[in-house]
Structure 1
Amino acid sequence: MAQKIIHPADTNSLAGTIDFHCHTGPDVSPRSINDLDLVRLAKKDGMRGIVLKNHYAITSDRAQLAMQEIGGIEVFGGIALNLSVGGINAEAVRRMAQFDGHRGKVVWLPTVDAENSFEHGPGPRKFVPVVKNGKPVPELAEVFRVVAENDLILETGHSTPAESLLLIPAAKQAGVKKIVVTHAMLLGATLSQVKQMATMGAVVEFCWQTYLSKSNGKIIVDNKAVANCAEVIKTVGAEHFIIDSDLGQKGNPLHPDGMRAFIAALKANGLSEHEIDLVARKNPAQLLDLDTGK
């Protein structure tokens, strides 16, 4: 049963952490903070870097502007292949990667426009399919090629776990080296499927926002679900996971607070400092080609 959120102790340092999933303004949806203010806040809290995510527009240009304006922290962006950028559009990916500063690192397969309707109500709607007849759609071949040529990170977006298990080997065969399964268990992945994803060489993402809800104006956390998250990480191996916030929604905690709370909750459920270091620092750094100190 969900319980009231416990504020983490200040001893949970964010030094060296990377938040791989940050929603910020300006955006279509109301956001709690804009790009520059988040970068300043993350830098002040000692974070090593953040990845800006937008469902409707590229963020590589915004990341470069933040680097120029603030500096002293790594800021990256990417592109989500939703209808607003033409869906499975390899040319959009190619141009995103070419923006000044080359801060565009992540390509999310369709999210809000995924065929999977887990966040949509019933009724007809346009969507961007990624799998047809048990195979990745043909348009993905060129996207995979552009991702591989530019050494970008492919994220599975809101694809179903079954779709992800088809997409991962196809992307690997096309030369894609870095694949992240976007909040896999939120989308219904079982422990067995997570193990398969890890065996295939994908990194699996857990997001703090997944565990938050509101009751009578108060933020609560689903501690049972967090405990399950910790158990999955311990069972499969921390080297296969990243944790991040997926925050930025109006009324939710800010991203650094979410990262602190996530780290505290995972520690409370038995993750060691070494495991926290992997999922919050070294694994995301490796994906972004940053020095991991190994």
Structure 2
Amino acid sequence: MLRLAGTIFASCLLSIQLCLAQGKQHADNPLTGTIDFHCHTGPDASPRSISDIDLARLAKKEGMRGIVLKNHYTMTADRAQIAMKEVGGIEVFGGIALNLSVGGLNAEAVRRMAAMEGHRGKVVWLPTVDAENSFEHGPGFRKFVSVVKDGKPVPELPEVFDVIAKNDLILETGHSTPAESLILIPAAKAAGIKKIIVTHAMLLGATIGQMKQMADMGAVIEFCWQAYLPKKGDKNLVDQKAIAQCVKAIQAIGAEYCIIDSDLGQPGNPLHPDGMRAYILALKANGLTAHDIDLVARKNPAKLLGLDAD
């Protein structure tokens, strides 16, 4: 009995020591063990500040655990596999955004992405640049891909959802409106999809109440650093009021239902690791606890990607 108690005590002591060591490591380098779930990289049809492989090398050097490559126009599962083999020592994942360039809501494109060698394709974004929601587009005619009609998911979505569910992929809502996401989330859950992320929800206009409702439905809410950076001609470094609102939202929703990432890669903006570091420090300065930062920057993204979250 005494021997068992001693073993338990030693095990608990070791766990405490490991936690303290991990906490010190995170304090010394805020990027240790982090995963950036939203990385724009080159080659791309849009200008990008860094390539897939160079970002993998940089993220590894900075102590990050992983990155997810995103492209609005083409699949990134194959590119993630190449970067993994070339760099090593860092997790690199990819996915596919269902914009017009891949055929829109194209279940076969998702199926082939999931089957790509290396199986690094984990994320399916619903339409982004070609979403019906025109929040980032000027006036005038343009083609778009609808995801909701008459209050229901469009007929093409059930097959897409089925492929996502069968391959245990992550569904992201893309640039859908908050109202559309509130329709899509329960439909995706009913189709058997276990992992759903609401893509930069606040940037798309979601209220804290709506985000809490989305989380209650089983979705994870994404917050991106790029949204707080200065716009062209703005001399302010970051939008401090918006960062404080971000902290308020994470606290209200619950950090266990949130992730943070950079959404960087645009020329003129910081590189992804610099953005992630600045984001973590800004969240901390505005009152988010070390425990909550650990959840949103490390454990939650790892769990979504099927990695050990400890």
TM-score by length of 2: 0.90
Residue 185 of structure 2 aligns to a residue whose secondary structure is helix
The TM-score, its normalising length taken from structure 1, stands at: 0.95
1:194 matched to 2:191: no
43, 55, 61: which one aligns with 2:60? 43
Where does 1:1-294 land on structure 2 (aligned, <5 Å)?
11-214=28-231, 220-293=237-310
Please give the root-mean-square deviation of Cα atoms over the aligned residues, in Å. Answer: 1.3
Q: Does the 8 Å contact 1:214/1:220 carry over to 2?
A: no
> In the alignment, is the contact (CA less than 8 A) between 1:79 and 1:108 conserved in 2?
yes
Per residue, is there more strand in 1 or in 2?
1
Q: CA deviation at 1:12?
A: 4.4
In the TM superposition, what is the alpha-carbon distance from 1:235 to its structure 2 partner? 1.4
Alignment partners' CA distance in 2, 1:165 and 1:214? 29
Question: By how many angstroms is 1:214 displaced?
Answer: 4.2
* Unpaired runs of at least 5, structure 2: 1-26
Structure 1 stretches of at least 4 aligned residues deviating more than 4 Å after TM superposition: 214-219
Identity across aligned pairs (percent)?
78
Q: CA deviation at 1:66?
A: 0.4
Q: Distance in 1 between matches of 2:28 and 2:242?
A: 24
Query: Per-residue CA shift, 1:267-289, capped at 9, x if unaligned?
Result: 01111110000000000000000
Q: Aligned-pair distance for 1:134? A: 0.3
Structure 2 Cα separation of the partners of residues 13 and 272 of structure 1:
13
| Deviation, structure 1 residue 236 | 1.5
Q: Name the counterpart of 1:6.
A: none
The amino acid of 1:44's aligned partner reads K
- The aligned length equals 285
CA–CA distance in structure 2, aligned partners of residues 210 and 217 of structure 1: 13
* Unaligned segments of structure 1, at least 5 residues: 1-9
CA 1:218/1:44 → structure 2, altered by over 3 Å: closer, same or farther?
farther
CA positional deviation for 1:11: 3.8
* Other-structure match for 1:7: none
Q: Larger radius of gyration, structure 1 or 2?
A: 2
Query: Given the superposition, is the C-alpha separation of residues 266 and 121 from structure 1 closer, same or farther in structure 2, using an over 3 Å criterion?
Result: same
